[in-house]
Amino acid sequence: MHAALGEGKTGVVTGGASGIGLEIARRLVGLGMKVAIADLGGARLDAAAAELEAPAPGRVLAVETDIGDDAAVLAMRDRVLARFGAVEAVFANAGMQPGSSIFDAEQNWRRIIDVNMWGVIRTAQAFAPGMIASARPGLIVNTGSKQGITTPPGDPAYNVSKSGVKTFTEALQHDLRKATGDRVEARLFIPGFVFTPLTSRGRTEKPAGAWTPSQVVDFLFDALSSDDFYILCPDNEVDRATDEKRILWAAMDITENRQPLSRWHGAYDDAFRDWLKK
């Protein structure tokens, strides 16, 4: 188990009222930790807080937070520190995916980036300085996406936001390593296809290809026991070998001077199929 996790320590989970975030919070409670969940207010947050509090009276704090608002993130941090005194682990998991188009016909680009990218950045900026200043091990896990790496067409605002999360988390880990010698560290969590309220799109039953939040959080916590920075999760449709080939192909668009997003261009279909077979 990672040194920042365990009985008596404190964890913060943004987007903690449902899906992957709620499952992470459940695991932290099960480890005997004090847990703060931050999410938009309402019945879902209330229900999550009640569920988590039942086996852990006095160890759970639910904070109504718009993670896309800078002041709200700082206010959430202050409430957590006032209640629990210190934070060892932060899971910046809050996100949204309402769909987007390149010329922003939906007028939601700014909100998507405020939540998905700035929410992660501001959460780390709010908590990391205190973690660095302490003498305790610390962990910041930022939820990215494969779409932020291979950037498939169809949802450009989401892809941009998650590409930013990848770049920020890499830079964060580099600076934390220089500042603390890995006593405080960052990890990039890259789920596969997971059936959650974010991805359900009106479906009530889990698609066969998707993992459950429990499965993907099992994978996450197993990886946190190792030194993996990039926690790249498979699912029931795509194994790690295929993910690796897709990621390498995307990077080779630059080194091979291909057209961008060549995987979906049409002219490279045969070459991509051959690449997957190698």
HSE-CB for 230 with a 13 A CA cutoff:
14
Residue 200 neighbours by CB distance under 10 Å: 14
CA neighbor of 189 nearest in space, from 274, 50, 95, 59: 95
Catalytic residue among 109, 158, 221, 249: 158
Distance CA 138, CA 24 (A): 16
- Contact between residue 21 and residue 45 where contact means Cβ atoms under 8 Å apart: no
Beta bridge partners of residue 36, listed in sequence order: 12, 61
**Residue 268 known to be catalytic:** no
Amino acid identity at 157: A
Write out the catalytic residue numbers.
158
